[in-house]
């Protein structure tokens, strides 16, 4: 009976995820939330049967369902994110021998009217995204590994569909690597490998990585690979893998920030040296003294100007405004980066009974808690480390963060501060419960 229910829920999960990605546009907020809510309930039901009811669900079933859903999503044009227009643009720039960190799209099109392909890509749009490419007035913010994939995909596929299929296939392959590594890490820690279901069949993971083409999926695979090598005392391989993760998304550098106290002097120096040299080599393919300023300028805009779903920023500014009737955002934006740095470095001084996976988890949690921009796909980076260490709040976060799509209304983007506050209050409550459980586990037995 339980196995039949599991498969029924698998069919429901698959149908709702495909409906959301193939036949739903972002501004239909009620439909988007209903479909995702139903898919998440099906995922929770499957996880409950697998992990709590001790139903003998083979790991192969979990793998097969996740692969089948992702294979179908390979052919869906992203429905919730317009980032892919910029991926196509950057891929075209690279294939033309133009550094994407050296040209703003709007400036390039204006200065090169003879480049009709660039003009078409610049103007590309759809019913779902009438504005087309975002960040037209900014230099690219996507590091080297992304740029290489953009270029390969552009060569192999037609713009804004064929190239998207290529990128999705690449993401699917890296997702399989993440699943394999997560299972190996669970087994190494003598935990049930079926816990991988909490990552592999989580609808947010499937929708945002392969569905909407977000390269955190690749960064996470490299990060897990670096973590796997680190646990097995292979420091050179770990440093090289971490450099590739940093070359995809910069934030995997957090691993190097929370593990330094666990290594002795020579081993730490060896690891850091490999990370540094490998990262310079990877990023140096596109970044040079002439355009690194442009890249840093885009990063500065991302960290200090753009605002989307920032927990402490939104809540703190509301409290500041209530107390002083003044806007506290500018003040908070100057303070939060320093709080982030201090908080993450302080994780090195937790007791030895706190595992490295927990330190990585908490580092990412602090990083996104104090961040000014937190898109739904960002928090997936926490998920494998939560599974490895038994924390629950990132799983809850993968549901409530989907509420941010309520901001995309028919009349344009409408920021809802109440939803943001509610999201972080709920996450805070679950995190508090996790900490209570952790404290009981760490308490000495009387």
Per-residue DSSP letters for 269-336? Answer: HHHHHHHHHHHHHHHTTT--TTTHHHHHHHHHHHHHT--BB-HHHHHHHHHHHHHHSS--HHHHHHHH
* pLDDT above 70: residue 325: no
Phi/psi for 409 (5° steps) reads -95, 170
The sign of the torsion formed by the CA atoms of 236, 241, 242, 248 equals positive
State whether residue 414 is helix, strand or coil.
coil
Question: Per mean pLDDT, which range of 123-127, 302-306, 372-376 is the poorest?
Answer: 302-306
The percent of residues in the chain predicted with pLDDT above 70, rounded, is 96
User: Model confidence over 244-275: pLDDT tens digits?
Assistant: 999 999 999 999 999 887 787 899 999 999 99
Segment (H or E) for 103: none
Structure token digits, residue 428: 């805070």
Measured CA to CA in angstroms, residue 306 lies from 33, 372, 374, 410 at distances of 25, 7, 10, 22
The answer to whether the CB of 220 falls within 8 A of the CB of 178 is yes
User: Model confidence over 115-158: pLDDT tens digits?
Assistant: 999 999 999 998 889 888 988 999 999 999 999 999 999 999 99
Predicted pLDDT of residue 260: 81
**Distance of alpha carbon 424 from the chain centroid:** 18
* pLDDT above 50: residue 446: no
* pLDDT above 90: residue 60: yes
**Inter-axis angle of helices 84-95 and 144-156, to 10 degrees?**
80
Predicted pLDDT of residue 444: 56
Burial of 156 (0-12, 13-18, 19+ CB in 10 A): middle
Measured CA to CA in angstroms, residue 155 lies from 74, 75, 88, 159 at distances of 18, 18, 10, 9
* pLDDT above 60: residue 36: yes
How confident is residue 354, by pLDDT bands cut at 50, 70 and 90?
confident
Q: Classify residue 209 as left (phi > 0), alpha (psi -120 to 50) or beta.
A: alpha
DSSP class of residue 211 equals: I
User: Model confidence over 163-218: pLDDT tens digits?
Assistant: 999 999 999 999 999 999 999 999 999 999 999 999 999 999 999 999 999 999 99
- Taking all residues of the chain, what is their mean pLDDT, rounded to a whole number? 92
Question: Per mean pLDDT, which range of 155-164, 188-197, 310-319, 414-423 is the poorest?
Answer: 310-319
How confident is residue 30, by pLDDT bands cut at 50, 70 and 90?
very high
């Amino acid at each position: 009976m339980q196995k039949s229910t599991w498969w029924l829920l698998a069919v429901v999960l698959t149908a709702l995820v495909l409906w959301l990605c193939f036949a739903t546009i972002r501004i239909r907020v009620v439909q988007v939330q209903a479909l995702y809510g139903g898919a998440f309930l099906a995922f929770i039901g499957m996880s409950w049967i697998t992990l709590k009811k001790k139903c003998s669900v083979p790991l192969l079933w979990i793998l097969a369902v996740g692969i089948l859903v992702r294979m179908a999503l390979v052919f869906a044009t992203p429905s919730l994110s317009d980032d892919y227009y910029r991926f196509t643009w950057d891929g075209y720039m690279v294939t033309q021998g133009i550094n994407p960190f050296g040209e703003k799209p709007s400036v390039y099109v204006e200065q090169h009217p003879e480049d009709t392909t660039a003009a078409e890509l610049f103007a590309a749009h759809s019913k779902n995204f009438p504005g087309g490419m975002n960040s037209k007035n900014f230099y690219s913010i996507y590091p080297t590994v992304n740029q290489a994939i953009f270029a390969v995909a552009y060569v192999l596929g037609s713009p804004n569909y064929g190239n998207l299929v290529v990128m999705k296939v690449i993401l699917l392959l890296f997702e399989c690597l993440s699943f394999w590594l997560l299972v190996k890490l669970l087994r190494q820690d003598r935990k049930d490998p079926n816990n991988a279901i909490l990552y592999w069949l989580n609808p947010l993971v499937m929708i945002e990585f392969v569905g909407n083409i977000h390269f955190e999926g690749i960064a996470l695979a490299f990060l897990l690979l670096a973590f796997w090598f680190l646990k097995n005392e292979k420091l050179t391989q770990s440093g090289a893998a971490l450099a590739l993760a940093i070359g995809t998304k910069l934030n995997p550098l957090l691993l190097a920030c929370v593990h330094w106290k666990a290594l002795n002097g020579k081993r730490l120096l060896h690891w850091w040296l490999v990370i540094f040299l490998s990262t310079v080599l990877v990023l140096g393919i596109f970044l040079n003294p002439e355009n690194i300023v442009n890249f840093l300028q885009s990063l500065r805009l991302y960290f200090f100007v753009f605002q989307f779903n920032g927990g402490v920023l939104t809540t703190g500014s509301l409290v500041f405004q209530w107390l002083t009737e003044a806007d506290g955002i500018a003040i908070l934006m100057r303070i939060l980066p320093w709080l982030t740095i201090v908080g993450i470095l302080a994780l090195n001084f937790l007791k030895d009974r706190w595992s490295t996976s927990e330190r990585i988890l908490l580092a990412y949690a602090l990083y996104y808690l104090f961040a000014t921009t937190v898109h739904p796909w960002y928090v997936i980076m926490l998920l494998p480390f939560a599974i490895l260490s038994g924390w629950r709040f990132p799983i809850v976060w993968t549901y409530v963060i989907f509420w941010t799509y309520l901001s995309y209304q028919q009349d344009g983007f409408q920021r809802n501060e109440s939803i943001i506050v509610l999201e972080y209050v709920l996450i805070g409550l679950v995190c508090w419960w996790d900490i209570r459980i952790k404290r009981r586990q760490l308490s000495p037995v009387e």
